[in-house]
Every structure is written in structure tokens, then in C-alpha cells.
Structure 1
Amino acid sequence: MADPAWWHRAVLYQIYPRSFRDGDGDGVGDIRGICQRLDHLVELGVDALWLSPVFPSPMDDFGYDVADYCDIDPMFGTLADFDALLTDAHKRGLKVILDLVANHSSDRHPWFQESRAAQSSAKRDWYIWRDPAPGGGPPNNWLSEFGGGAWEFDAASGQYYLHTFLASQPDLNWRNPEVAAAMHEVVRFWLKRGVDGFRADAVRHLIKDEAFRDNPANPAYRDGDPPDTAVLPLYTADRPEAHDIIAGLRDVIDEFPDRLLIGELNLPFDKLVAYYGRDLDGLHLPFNFALLSAPWKARHLAGLIDRYETALPKGGWPNWVLGNHDKPRIASRVGDAQAKVAAMLLLTLRGMPTLYYGDEIGMRQIKIPPDRVRDPYELNVPGLGLGRDGCRTPMQWDASSKAGFTKGKPWLPLGEDHRQLNVENQRADRTSIFTLHKRLIALRRAHPALAVGDYRPMTATGDLLLFQRALDRERFVVALNLGAEPVEVDFAKGEVSGRLVLSTHGDRDGEVVTDALALRDNEGVVVELS
């Protein structure tokens, strides 16, 4: 790449603030706690941190219900604390990305309080209000992502308001230019403060059908599926007008140099890539979540990578995600041994990788006792295993009774394995998954081919995934064994000759490779070609 932006080379690290580090002892993570652990991110080698929401909120959805877009919730600290975090992060060469919850606010936000005051309110049209259906009841059949209908009746005004998520999260009306202007000012507020960009939440929901047509029934729906999937979101998600909204946000981002706009999207590749914009004037990075739910099979993953690379627009930069605050932990999805192989895949593919806090030490999904469940999704739709608390548990820093997270009672239970599985134990272990992450990130940083080079698939069968990364004369082969049995790889004569620079098992450095390669069970290696 002639002139790569910082995010082309970057590794992004997601922090769920409630669970990273508690600086004041109340059992909930906060900004001061994050400041205390910035050196962990430096040691790991990441380039930027992304904070899930830290704005004032009633915490019905743990910050994704924003009551004030331009302040910090006292639970997390103050604006001064946030400014200190920015300063400390920037001194260490770390960028800071904030969440932008643009689809909806809290019902406690002053905008909504004014909107619901009366039908004649000046801000009535800042949210989506509709009269009841002709025979009474909700205006249409739209469903909430968190179970039940998406319309809430307001008895005082005789109308319904729309909520794609909780009833306490009313949807903003992006068809109103005043809403767009107000949100643009929110973005400017933080960018002027020094924030390096945003991850925009729930982007595919930003605008809905202007005619409010019923969504069609989902013929594939079965009992036990998430209830919102009973209909196809034809008129409530991925509407064409969303691209105009994103282009407007991108214009604001572009007023400031070197800032980044990421978007949360859960879409197939053909639809996902449209969010780069016609002339790459949309999202810099539409989040690619394909690995979050993909079967952990080599042939499936190889096809998935090829389809994504093919679908990308010219100049569109790829990205990959293995874990986040909504999905089960990767170590529990694929097993501890394959979690190392997954880390090597994530950190050697072309594009920006995003690490979820705790995945660098292989934290596992935690089973939450019924009396400790906090997630509104699980509380609204119990019994289907949809709860997200299990991937949001406190970071396991050390073997102390509170895992180095807090002096108080942790807001969610600690993993029972925290005395063995923690940062302190893994830091000095050359074979640990933490050490592997550090070495992989250092390798990316040292070699442009691994950071911004081409992706070149290689023919493979069975449990083997093979590809090259190349830039100018620098070339690497990545070989991943996704199986539990050893595998021998025979290359064409002269195709592969070099030295092995990294194994997920933590050994074999410097081993000479010529035309053949032996992989142990659950092993991945990186070979630098000569």
C-alpha cells in the first residue's frame, strides 16, 4: 500500500469497561482502572483500544441506553478522568475509540423526555411515533431484538413509540435532519477532545421503512429460535437510506485528520461490503463478524476467507473479529488448544484484527447462576441460552481472591479458573496463549508483509488451512492444523523454503523448512520464506 493509514497496520483491543479493572473498589470496572492497566496493552503490543459505552446511563442495557452523549457516567468516573485516559493512552502510542450508540437513546435522555411530553412537542419527531393500528394495537408486526413487540404504548399521548431493543431504548428518527445534526455535534464533541474514532452501534438498524410495512414471516423459524427471528427484518434493517446517514457521519469524521469510523453490522458479505460506500466514503471498516459464528472447520474457513476477500471493494480494507461482548468466548467455542490456532489465524489474516479483552489469556465462557444474571436479553428471553453475561465477566489479572480486578464484590462472578488462568501466571510462560499473542503482534509489527501485505490462498485439504502473506520480496506461509491429529504437508519442489519463526506450541523457532512441513495436533506455524 502506497500510504497506509494507521488502522491498516493496527490491532484493536476491545475493553468492556465494567469488567476490565475496578479502580475505586465498588466491584464495577471504571476509567481509572483502565488507566492502571494501560501498560498491559503496551506489553501486548496492540495499537488502539475501543471502549464499550461509558456515557451517563440508567444501565438498563449496561450503557447502550445513553442518557447524555456528552458526559461520563459517575460509575465510570468523570470527564477529567476520561481526559486523563486519553492523555495517558496517547503518551503510550495508543489510540482511543469510543462507542457511538446512534440508533437509540435511553428513555431518560432529555431529548426523549421532551419528545414524549406531548404530540405537539418540538422534539416529538426526534423519535418514531405512530398512531395505533386501525383496530387498535401496535402499528405493525415489527419485533424487538430483545423479545416481544417493538412498539411501546404511551397512554398519555395515545401513540406508540418504536424500540428496536428494550422499551427503555427508544429509536431515534434519523429521517429528521435535526437528529442528524445533533448526533454530528456529539461526534465533534469527542473528536475535539482527542478521541481517535468511533465504533457505531447497531448500524443496520439506523433507519426503517418510511411506509411502516409489516415484515414478512420467516419460513425457516422454528420453536426455540430467538423470538425476533420469527419475521425477516426486511423493513427494519439494512435499508438503503442508511448509507446516506453513514456518509454524513463520515463527513464529520473527515473534518479531523486520521480518525476512524467502524460500524457494527451482522450481514452477509455481499451486503456488508456496501457499507464501505460507493467511493469508500462510508465506514472505514464495516465489522466482519463471520468468524464469530463460523463452524471451526478448515475447508469452511478457507472458503469464507476467499469469499470475503473477493467481495471487498477495491481499496476496502478488511477486518476480522473472534470475540466481543455479545458472543461466547472463543476458547469455549473451539477449545483451549484451538484457541491458540484461532489467535494465529486472527493475527495473520489480511486486515485489522480486533481482540476482545481476556481472549489474550484464553478466558472461558462463565456459567452465570440464575440469581446473578444481569443481561436484559437473558432476563427477557430466558431458557434459550442467549445471555451475554458469560462473556462479560471480570478480567483475570492474578491469582488473588478477586483476581486483581477489584477489592469489592465483582458485579459478575469470576471464573472459577482464575487462580490458574490469569495474566500474571501467563506472563512468564513461553508456551502460554498470552505469550503467543505478544509474539504474533510483534511479528506483525516487524514485518510489513504480515501487516499490509497481500493474502494468497494455498491449496490444502482436510483439517489444514494454508495461505501466504506477501509484500515485495517478503513472504510468509501460515499453516494451521485445525484437527486433533498430526498432519504432514508436502509442497511442490521449491515452493516453500525458509525458516519457521513461530509455533503455537511455543517452540521450533529457527527450524529449517524445505518442501515439507510436519504439524502436530492443534498446531499453527508461521514460516518466513527465503
Structure 2
Amino acid sequence: MKRILLLLALLIFTISCGDVEKKSNKNDDLNNEVHRTWWKEAVIYQIYPRSFKDTDGDGIGDLKGIIEKLDYIESLGVNMVWLNPIYSSPNADNGYDISNYREIMDEFGTMEDFDLMLREMHKRDIKFVMDVVVNHSSDEHRWFQESRKSRDNPYRDYYHWWPAEKGKPNYRYSLFDPKGEAWKYDSITDAYYLHYFSQKQPDLNWENPKVRQEVYDIMKFWAEKGVDGFRLDAFQFVSKDTSFPPLPEGYEKEVIKYYGMGPNLHKYLKELNKEVLSQYDVFAVSEGAGSTFEDAHSLVDADRNELQMAYHFEGMDVGNSLDGYKLSEFKEVYTKWDSAFAEKGWLSIFLANHDVPRMVSKFGNDSPEFRKASSKMLNTFILSMRGTPYCYYGDELGMTNIGFENIEQYQDIVAKNGYEKTLNEGGDISEYMARLKFLSRDNGRTPMQWNDSEHAGFTDGTPWLPVNDNYKTVNVEAEEKDPNSCLNYFRKMVDLRMNYPVLVYGDYKLLFPDHKQVYAYTRELEGQKMLVLLNFSEQTANLELPDNLTLNKPLINNLEELVQEGSQIELQAYQAVIFDLK
């Protein structure tokens, strides 16, 4: 299906509220060297389905709710949607523990609902990305239920089993288990099974070709339905050294190095590409990109015939401290990744997803005074960098962390098991709770705020997670009416990206690398050049631009004013401006 041509280009916005100067779409003029591809030009909107819109009053979002809000999604200008898992699941990890890969979770609806949702997306030229979770399944999946019945069961080798008579296997760390142990003893066959995540998420044995074929058949099932892409959850973990040797000292600091990018990963990816990806007009992105640039390139470079897009986590490692972060570190991470992929491969650009807190609370300033400006500034960053942007639901509104105070309020298995682990090890519970309040995944999973009615219009029932108290003012209905809202600014910024290929494919150059407040860079492509200025602080920032930069008027500005005199520019708190350069 052809890429969406944004109708928002017909709207005219005043420069005082962030005017976007229209320019003819230059995509047709792009040189072949930039390797134009629809998934590079996409803006992806990630939806956590449990939290988007509930239509049946059970407090859980559903597919009918997404269908109901497709006109809203279309109005954002985005042209692709990624949903977190919607398969049948007992929900030990909110859908990332799958019990049937060809059925829709009851809480979300039916396969008929899914088919209708996909048709309605495609009618709007919105493509769809399916989340594929195949490093592990649920322990309630039929495969595992059969696998644990006996050692000679045909499904036994679908999982990693270690017979107890060989002694306890070498320690493996579980990312989710409160005891930190990834081998779970099962008395039925007197053996241990492996789970890198929860004990209810046993790892699939990709060394078994039958497992791989099962996965390829599942992906073909959804590709035949018309899905346009796949996001491969935890995929860098699927290949394992099945001798499970002892882990070296200090492995905790390099989990990906010792757990991920196993000996047969590329073999499996080439096989997957041949069996599935090359047979359909789809793309695939793997969660994670290894531990080095070489790892990332080996996954996504076109001549590798594996995946298409890298989704690295180093940016998410910035700011994981209660003391905040340094802008220099933020700039360094995104600059080095862009440099590493300047000639080959393709990156994802994001600041939030379902596994991290709200971006404005982590990287911006969620106080009432600065929430709007800093949210707009962060969206300017995401939508002006090279790579495919991933925008998380609610971030277009400037939704913030909810900040739970006690462990009973949390739903996330990671939060609960981490609490138990801290207790078991005699850790500092106060410190743990403070970090959880700031960094918990539940912060990014609270219900979408549609209006100022009870539960923010998300549900007529009791929501599975509480709605943030600021929903009275931070909601779609209120922001639709405000020309200066985060929502309307987001639409303008998406429109700008869609109409200026330089923001998609252009070369990136960092300016003022040592400036403690401002992140500044240029984007340049075939005679088109833009300057992006972002003030990441609540203080005014002054810049003197280089003599070789001559500014046209701003294409977009997140504040009402711009203080400029010649080459001197004064950026207000969290101001974001993009200039077209002469």
C-alpha cells in the first residue's frame, strides 16, 4: 500500500504557535544513493493495547477501542502503528507470555475484530507492525505443556531442559525472577528448564529446526493476513550455547554480551529472511542491537539479508539515575550511533516505549511550568533525527509519570519481583521504591487520557491501572481546542518531517558539542540544509551561530517568540526551533 500523503499539509498554522512553512514534497527528487524505502519514511505510533481505549467496560483496552480511535490516529499524521502483543495469554507479563500465537486475547476481542482493525488501518494508509515474541512462550502454551510431560515427548526439545542427574546447571541470571535464577526445577521429569525472563516464560529451543519452522509458519500466518512489519521481542537472546558454560566474573555488566548474539543467531535470521521476510513486502526490527556497532550492523545491513532496522537501547540507559543526566552523555550516545550508521544500515529513534517511564518525566521536565515546552522539544528531537521515529501513545499529549507510592499499586511483574528480590537480599527498600517511582514500566502504561470525564474517557469500568491525576487538563479533547497544545505541535512536527526528506535521509552534524544546555545539529541532503536547536534546560541559553550558517525564518518553533539578533540566538527554557538554512 502506498505511503500516506498527509492531508494535514492543507492546514495553515501561524508561526507564533510553531508555524510549519510548507514546501513541496521532495521525495521524488531523492538520489538513489539514499535507498528510499517506505519503512524508513514512516512515523510509527506505538500503542499499548491494554491502555488505549476500552469499549466493553472491563477496564482493559481492546481492539474495538483502537478501531474507534483510528481517525484520531490518522489525524496525527503517523503512517504506521505498532501494537504490543495481542495474542492469547495468561498475562503473567501482560501479553509477553503467549499461550497461542494464532488467537487473539479474549480481553482484546476476536480475530474478526483484528481483521476489521487491519482493514480500517489500510483504508487510511496506515501500516501495521505485529509484535512477535518467540524467545519464549507461556508455560501454558500447548508446546510447553506437552514438553514437560515426559523426556521422550515429541515437544521435549521445543525448550531447554537439563536433567537433574547431571547436577544443577551452571547459573544463569533471570531478568524477571525474584531469586535471580533462570533455571527452574520441574519435578514431573526431574529436570530444570530455562527461563531468561519469568518462570512462566520458558525459553524456546531455537536449535531445534522444528521450533524455527513453527515460528516461520506463525509469521507467515500474520503476513498472509496483511500485516506490514514485525517487531521481534528479545530476539537477540534466541541463540544459546547449549553447553551452558560458567559465566565469567562481571557478566552482570554485560548481560547482552554473554546472553545475546549467540553462535547461530545470524544463521537463524538469514533463514527467517529467506522463509518469511523476503516473501512479503514487510520489514522486521529486532528489540536490541547487540553490544557493539558491529553487532548492530551484522543484524541490519542490507547485504546481510537478515533484518532491516536496529533498535538499540543505549539511549534508554541515559538518565537511569535519580540525580538526572548530563546532556553531554545524551548527545554523545545519539551522535555516535548516527555516525556508525551514516553509510550503511538503518536505526530506530525513540525516547519511550512500554518498558520505560514517560519521556517528559525522564528526559524533560514534567512540572506544570515546563511540561508542555519540554514535551514539544523532545518530540522535535525524535522527529528531526535520521532513522525511523517511534512515538509512544500519549507522548503527543505530554503525558507524565504517575508516581505510585507503594508496591501494591504496581501491576508490573518486574516491579513486584524486584521488590521481593530486594527484600530477600536485605536491600534498601526506600531506595528501591524511589527508583521504581521514577523508572517503573507502569509509568508508561497508564490509560490514555481522552477527556476530563471519569477515568479520562478510557473506560466506563475500573481501569486496570489508575489514570494519572492530571487527566483533567492533559487530555485529547482539551488539547484539540488549544492551538498551542502538545498535541497540535506534534501534528505540525510530523507534517514537517513528512514533507522534508532531509529530516529522514539527510546527513547529521553535531554543533556546539560542549554546550551544557543546547543540543544543536544540522541535517543536509542534496542542497537542502536545516538547523535544529534544542534547549534541554529550564534556563535561558545563548548561542552565537557560526558565520557559515545563514538563517531563513524558522520552519517550526515550540514557543511563541524567538529572541534573535543576527548570529546571536537566545533560546528560552526548553525551546525547540528548526531553521531552513540559505
TM normalised by structure 2 equals 0.85
The letter for the 2-side match of 1:407 is: D
Pair 1:502 & 2:556 matched: yes
Partner-residue secondary structure (3-state), 2:116: helix
Shift in Å at residue 103 of structure 1? 0.2
Counterpart of 1:330 in structure 2 is 359
Inter-partner Cα distance in structure 1 for 2:201 and 2:526: 51
Counterpart of 1:5 in structure 2 is 37
Shift in Å at residue 272 of structure 1? 3.0
Shift in Å at residue 266 of structure 1? 6.1
Pair 1:240 & 2:263 matched: yes
Partner-residue secondary structure (3-state), 1:488: strand
The letter for the 1-side match of 2:469 is: E
Inter-partner Cα distance in structure 2 for 1:141 and 1:231: 15
Counterpart of 2:458 in structure 1 is 405
Counterpart of 2:230 in structure 1 is 198
- Alpha-carbon deviations, 1:216-264, whole Å to 9, x = none? 2328xxxxxxxxx488565432223212222222223434443110110
Counterpart of 2:172 in structure 1 is 142
The letter for the 2-side match of 1:91 is: K
C-alpha spacing 1:454/1:132, structure 2 compared with 1 (3 Å): same
Inter-partner Cα distance in structure 2 for 1:485 and 1:235: 43
Shift in Å at residue 27 of structure 1? 0.5
Counterpart of 1:222 in structure 2 is none
Counterpart of 2:423 in structure 1 is none
Inter-partner Cα distance in structure 2 for 1:260 and 1:33: 26
Counterpart of 2:194 in structure 1 is 162
Partner-residue secondary structure (3-state), 2:81: strand
C-alpha spacing 1:233/1:322, structure 2 compared with 1 (3 Å): closer
Pair 1:423 & 2:476 matched: yes
Inter-partner Cα distance in structure 1 for 2:374 and 2:470: 18
Counterpart of 2:208 in structure 1 is 176
Counterpart of 1:28 in structure 2 is 60
Partner-residue secondary structure (3-state), 1:75: coil
Structure 1 window deviating more from structure 2 (185-194 vs 462-471): it is 462-471
CA RMSD of aligned residues (A): 2.1
- Alpha-carbon deviations, 1:404-453, whole Å to 9, x = none? 11111000011011111111111222222212211110001111111222
Pair 1:522 & 2:574 matched: yes
C-alpha spacing 1:253/1:459, structure 2 compared with 1 (3 Å): farther
Counterpart of 2:510 in structure 1 is 457
Structure 1 window deviating more from structure 2 (429-438 vs 485-494): it is 485-494
- Alpha-carbon deviations, 1:269-328, whole Å to 9, x = none? 423333215824222112123332324543323322221122227331222110011111
Counterpart of 2:99 in structure 1 is 67
Counterpart of 1:307 in structure 2 is 336
Inter-partner Cα distance in structure 2 for 1:422 and 1:114: 47
Inter-partner Cα distance in structure 2 for 1:474 and 1:499: 14
Match of 1:472 among 508, 526, 531: 526
Shift in Å at residue 154 of structure 1? 1.3
Contact map agreement 2:377 2:576 (CA 8 A) in 1: yes
Contact map agreement 1:291 1:320 (CA 8 A) in 2: no
Inter-partner Cα distance in structure 1 for 2:548 and 2:93: 57
The letter for the 1-side match of 2:358 is: R
Inter-partner Cα distance in structure 2 for 1:320 and 1:356: 11
Counterpart of 1:225 in structure 2 is none
Match of 2:412 among 375, 394, 407: 375
Inter-partner Cα distance in structure 1 for 2:492 and 2:115: 31
Partner-residue secondary structure (3-state), 2:375: helix
Counterpart of 1:226 in structure 2 is none
Partner-residue secondary structure (3-state), 1:502: strand
Counterpart of 1:288 in structure 2 is 312
Contact map agreement 1:17 1:51 (CA 8 A) in 2: yes
Contact map agreement 1:430 1:506 (CA 8 A) in 2: no
Inter-partner Cα distance in structure 2 for 1:514 and 1:283: 47
Inter-partner Cα distance in structure 2 for 1:294 and 1:269: 17
Contact map agreement 1:144 1:165 (CA 8 A) in 2: yes
Pair 1:447 & 2:503 matched: no
**Aligned ranges 1:484-495 → 2 under 5 Å:** 484-495=538-549
Inter-partner Cα distance in structure 2 for 1:317 and 1:513: 38
Shift in Å at residue 76 of structure 1? 0.6
Shift in Å at residue 387 of structure 1? 4.0
The letter for the 2-side match of 1:289 is: F
Shift in Å at residue 41 of structure 1? 1.3
Q: Provide the identity percentage.
A: 34
Shift in Å at residue 512 of structure 1? 8.4
C-alpha spacing 1:326/1:269, structure 2 compared with 1 (3 Å): same
Match of 1:317 among 337, 346, 369: 346
C-alpha spacing 1:298/1:82, structure 2 compared with 1 (3 Å): same
- Alpha-carbon deviations, 1:376-402, whole Å to 9, x = none? 112212143264222211001110012
Partner-residue secondary structure (3-state), 2:357: coil
Counterpart of 1:224 in structure 2 is none
Partner-residue secondary structure (3-state), 1:302: helix
The letter for the 2-side match of 1:371 is: E
**Aligned ranges 1:339-378 → 2 under 5 Å:** 339-368=375-404, 369-378=406-415
C-alpha spacing 1:231/1:255, structure 2 compared with 1 (3 Å): closer
C-alpha spacing 1:46/1:169, structure 2 compared with 1 (3 Å): same
**Aligned ranges 1:126-137 → 2 under 5 Å:** 126-132=158-164, 134=166, 136=167
Instruction: In structure 1, list runs of 5 or more residues that go unmatched.
Output: 220-228
Inter-partner Cα distance in structure 2 for 1:262 and 1:408: 36
- Alpha-carbon deviations, 1:21-42, whole Å to 9, x = none? 1121111000000111111211
Shift in Å at residue 338 of structure 1? 2.7
Inter-partner Cα distance in structure 2 for 1:278 and 1:8: 13
Counterpart of 2:123 in structure 1 is 91
Instruction: In structure 2, list runs of 5 or more residues that go unmatched.
Output: 1-30, 320-324, 366-370, 420-428
Partner-residue secondary structure (3-state), 1:130: strand
Match of 1:19 among 37, 51, 60: 51
Counterpart of 2:148 in structure 1 is 116
Structure 1 window deviating more from structure 2 (254-263 vs 36-45): it is 254-263
Identify the structure with bigger relative contact order (alpha carbons < 8 Å, sequence gap 6+).
2
Contact map agreement 1:115 1:121 (CA 8 A) in 2: yes
Shift in Å at residue 352 of structure 1? 0.5
Structure 1 window deviating more from structure 2 (95-104 vs 235-244): it is 235-244
Inter-partner Cα distance in structure 2 for 1:497 and 1:189: 52
Partner-residue secondary structure (3-state), 2:259: coil
Contact map agreement 1:115 1:126 (CA 8 A) in 2: yes
Contact map agreement 1:327 1:391 (CA 8 A) in 2: yes
Counterpart of 2:283 in structure 1 is 260
Contact map agreement 2:134 2:232 (CA 8 A) in 1: yes
Shift in Å at residue 113 of structure 1? 1.3
Contact map agreement 1:497 1:513 (CA 8 A) in 2: no
C-alpha spacing 1:24/1:513, structure 2 compared with 1 (3 Å): farther
Between structures 1 and 2, the one with greater helix share: 2
Inter-partner Cα distance in structure 1 for 2:263 and 2:343: 21
Partner-residue secondary structure (3-state), 1:338: helix
Inter-partner Cα distance in structure 1 for 2:560 and 2:98: 44
Inter-partner Cα distance in structure 1 for 2:348 and 2:181: 34
Shift in Å at residue 372 of structure 1? 3.2
